[in-house]
Structure 1
Amino acid sequence: MNFKEQLIHYPILEIVAKASEELGVDAYIIGGFVRDLILKRSSKDIDIVSIGSGIELAELVASQLGPDVHVSIYKTFGTAQIRQGDLEIEFVGARKESYTSDSRKPAVEDGTLQDDQNRRDFTINAMGISLHKKTFGDLIDPFEGVRDIRKKIIRTPLAPDITFSDDPLRMMRAIRFASQLNFDIEPDTFDAIIAMKDRIEIVSMERISDELNKIILSPVPSYGFKLLYHAGLLHILFPEMIELQGVEIIEGKGHKDNFYHTLQVLDNVSKNTDDLWLRWAAILHDIAKPATKKFDKRVGWSFHNHEEVGARMVPVIFRRMKLPLNEKMKFVKKLVRLHLRPIVLSKDQITDSAMRRLLVEAGEDIEALMKLCRADITSKNPDKVKRFLQNFDLVEQKLKDLEERDKLRNFQPVITGEIIIDTFGLKPSREVGIMKEIVREAILEGIIPNEFDKAFAFMIEEGKKMGLTPVQ
């Protein structure tokens, strides 16, 4: 199999081929770029393996590309990187690796192309393409990666227990590739993941979360989570999610399996957004249901206040998983806290006051919140789903009309604490806070518009009731 016709669309590869010839070394494209070429997927990352110094080859390629091309060199790892347009090309010398049981950092020595392919994680990532002048474009596929692509199989090149023991992160990567590509994991390979699952504990949480986020961003992320669950990895990495699994029945009354409900919500929201953090909100929206679950003989199961408890759990989970504790976390926390509010509005009589409060609390994230809430409708009864979605249409239209009229997004009352202090000659005090709240509530209830003159006049009248007199 030869890919010369496909490679001509990447002129830099011809430059790499000529530079390697000039240095008298063989060079090969290897890994994900080759896999994606066969899958007809676009790829912006090209890995070049040189049977010699990868850094020396990168420097020569850069010099031939022009004086403005920068080479990033990582001597510790023996790699170098060049960016050209939207392409990222990484160069490394072929190497052989050996591992100790307590680390995923290998001892590295120079090796052959075969050594380099042997150390790859999966057969579909172990294929190479020659850049040698006489064999330019020829595929080198010692582990039948093309066959596995055709069969949609994830399989390790060598014995899977050795592969996963050497680098346990590869267990996460196996599931990530299966989820991204909709491939199966070959039975012996999956059995090895189950057997070696405890080895994941030597991997840094940052690396694990990076792979987990890629699973979450895959087209149908529930597939990856089910693989993590059946492999036993999810029990180690995300015990809060495992707590959601199962149905408890008392006196003939049961609740839904919140683990599989969460996966359905995640898949639903993923149909409409590639936003990683909105997908995380879907994962965590019911995370506190196990902690708030109660049974009452009259009403059955309840999960009172699970949205508030869940919101408090978000930063704890993000901190442990080494996810960002910035605006991304705050966004997820807000959506978890508010996720029931639109659903309640869709069931009850819609009031302007309730709508205003939702708009004020959601702010710029109101559209994301509504996407999450629509995804949260997972009844097996299609008529019930249709009815709920129609009610959501009414809620969204009402929100849109109110926003256009009252401009409540990023709401701030026109009457500030400073205005209250100056108007009544007060010092910072409880009275100032009470007045601020009175004005805020009056605006949200629609008693007064959020306009200065009318709000100021209202404040004066309310001040009189409190025994406050404006200063002259």
Structure 2
Amino acid sequence: MNFKTQLAQFEVFDKVAHAAQKLGLKTYVVGGYVRDLVLGRPSKDIDFTCVGSGILLAQEVAKGFDQHVPLSIFKNFGTAMLKLDDWELEFVGARKESYRQESRKPIVEDGTLEEDLERRDFTINAMAISLNKEDYGELIDPFDGMGDIKRKIIRTPLEPNITFSDDPLRMLRAVRFAAQLNFDIDADTFFALSENAYRLKIISAERIIDEVNKIIATPKPSYGFKLLFASKLLHEFFPEMVELQGVDSVDDKSHKDNFYHTLQVLDNVCQASNNLWLRWAAIMHDIAKPATKRFNPKAGWTFHGHEDKGARMTPAIFRRLKLPMDDRMKYVQNLVRLHLRPIALVKDEVTDSALRRLLFDAGDEIDDLMTLCRADITSKNNKKVQRYLENFDKVEKKLKEVEEKDQVRNFQPPVSGEEIMETFGIPPSKIIGDIKEEIKEAILEGKISNNPQEARKLMFEIASQKGLNPVKSN
């Protein structure tokens, strides 16, 4: 198969071929770009391998452009990178690798193209396209990557136990590619995932979570998580999620499998939003159910307080997984804490006070919270699901009405602590917070409107009850 026509669409390939010929270096396009070219997927990252020095080739290619092209050289790795508009071109010499048992850092030596391709993770990434004059554009496919693309299979070029033992991160990449491309994992390759799952212990949490986030970013991440679970990879880095799986029964009373429920909620969220952190909220929303599970002969299985405990668990899980400990964590934590509140409003007669409190507590995250809550309706009874969703429509309509009327989303009490201190001539103290809290509660309960005039009037009433008198102005 020849890709000369496709290569001709971008001058960069002609530039690289010309530089390689000038230096006498056999050069090839390799890896992901070739795979994506076959699949018809857009890609702006191109890897070039030459039999010789990739750094020398990159330097020669950079000279071939009229404009200045930023060149980064990494001598320790024998690689170089060119930035060309929104393209990233990486150059490396063909190499072979060997690994030590306790590390995923390889011992690298110069090698042939065939040795370079066989060290790659999967057959679909072990293809090359020649940029050499005698066979320009020809596909080099020693491990039948094209056949695996047609069969939609993820398979390793070498014996999979060798591939995964050498570099255990490739196990997560196998799942990630399967999830991204909607491919199956070859049976022998999948068996090797389970056999080598324990080897993830030598991989840094940062590298693991990078692959996991790419799985979460796919259109249907439940597929990737089912593979992670079945292969025991998930057990190595996210045991709290593993504990969600399973169904207990007592006296013919059973609860739902919270692992598969969580995956359904995650998929539902993905249909509505690309927000990675909203997707993480879906993953975390029931994370505390195993810890709060109780059986009551009358009520059956209960998970009382799982939303609060789940919110308390969130920082420790994020810290261990090396997820960000900033506002993104707090966002997920808040959605976990609040995810039952809108459901309670659906079940009960909705009061303006309850709506105001929800708006205040959720703030700007109210829309995402409602998206999560809608996704959380996963009954097999379609009529029940439809009824709940219709009730959510009513709640959202009332939320908008209350917000327009009372403007309580993210509101601060109209009277500040500084104003209270100046008005009554008192230093910072607990009583100031008490006054502000009473004013806030009065607004949320609808006893006064959210405006400075009514708030100040109430401030004087509260202060008088506490024996405070305003300072007389001169």
Please indicate the TM-score interval, normalised by the length of the shorter structure.
over 0.9
RMSD over aligned Cα, in angstroms?
A: 1.1
**Partner letter of residue 458 of structure 1?**
L
In structure 2, relative to structure 1, the CA distance for the partners of 1:9 and 1:399 (3 Å cut) is farther
> How far does the alpha carbon of each residue in 1:250-279 deviate from its partner, in whole angstroms, 9 at most, with x for none?
122111110110011011111111211111
What secondary structure is seen at the aligned counterpart in 1 of 2:272? coil
SS in 1 for 2:418: helix
The corresponding residue for 1:84 is 84
Name the residue aligned to 1:419.
419
Structure 1 gaps, min length 5: none
Q: Deviations over 1:220-277 (max 9, x none)?
A: 1111111111111111211101111111111221111101100110111111112111
What is the SS of the residue equivalent to 1:76? coil
Query: Displacement of 1:467 after TM fit?
Result: 2.2
Q: What is the identity, as a one-letter code, of the residue corresponding to 1:98? A: S
Per-residue deviation, 1:294: 1.0
Matched residues in 2 for 1:251 and 1:355: separation?
A: 38
Give the alignment of 1:21-420 within 5 angstroms.
21-420=21-420
For residues 53 and 405 of structure 2, the distance between their equivalents in structure 1, rounded to whole angstroms, comes to: 66
Deviation at 1:451, TM superposition (A): 1.5
Give the structure 2 partner of residue 20 of structure 1.
20
**Counterpart Cα distance in 2 of 1:7 and 1:445:** 67
State how far apart, in whole Å, the 2-side matches of 1:136 and 1:361 are.
Answer: 63
* Residue type at the aligned position of 1:220: K
Task: Provide the rounded CA distance (Å) in 2 between the counterparts of 1:13 and 1:352.
Answer: 65
TM-superposition CA deviations, 1:194-213 (whole Å, max 9, x none): 11111111111111111111
CA apart distance, 1:347: 1.3
**What do the CA deviations read for 1:370-424 (whole angstroms, capped 9, x no partner)?**
1111110000000000000001111111222222333323211111111111111
Q: Which residue of 2 aligns with 1:437?
A: 437
Distance in 1 between residues matched to 2:308 and 2:332, nearest whole Å: 12
> Normalized against structure 2, the TM-score is what?
0.98
CA distance in 2, matches of 1:87, 1:159: 34
Q: Describe the shift of the 1:83–1:409 C-alpha distance in structure 2 as closer, same or farther (beyond 3 A).
A: farther
1:191 is aligned with what amino acid?
F
For structure 2, the residue ranges without an aligned partner over 5 or more in a row are none
Amino acid at match of 2:228: L
1:290: Cα distance to partner? 0.5
What is the rounded CA distance, in whole Å, between the counterparts of 1:216 and 1:385 in structure 2? 25
Contact 2:70 2:84 in 1 (8 A): no
My pick for the range that moved more, 376-385 or 347-356, is 347-356
SS of equivalent to 1:147: helix
One-letter amino acid matched to 1:364: D
Stretch moving more, 179-188 or 52-61: 52-61
Equivalent AA in structure 2 for residue 372 of structure 1: L
Secondary structure at the residue paired with 2:68? coil
| Identity of matched residues, % | 61
Q: Is the contact between residue 154 and residue 183 of structure 2 (CA under 8 Å) also seen in structure 1?
A: yes
Distance in structure 2 (CA, Å) of the matches to 1:183 and 1:307:
35
SS of equivalent residue, structure 2 residue 49: strand
Q: Secondary structure at the match of 1:65?
A: coil
1:67 CA drift (Å): 4.7
Q: Size of the alignment, in residue pairs?
A: 472
Residue identity opposite 1:457 in structure 2? K
Amino acid at match of 1:179: A
Give 1:173 deviation, angstroms: 0.6
The one-character-per-residue Cα deviations of 1:145-167 (angstroms, maximum 9, x if unpaired) are: 00000000000001111111111
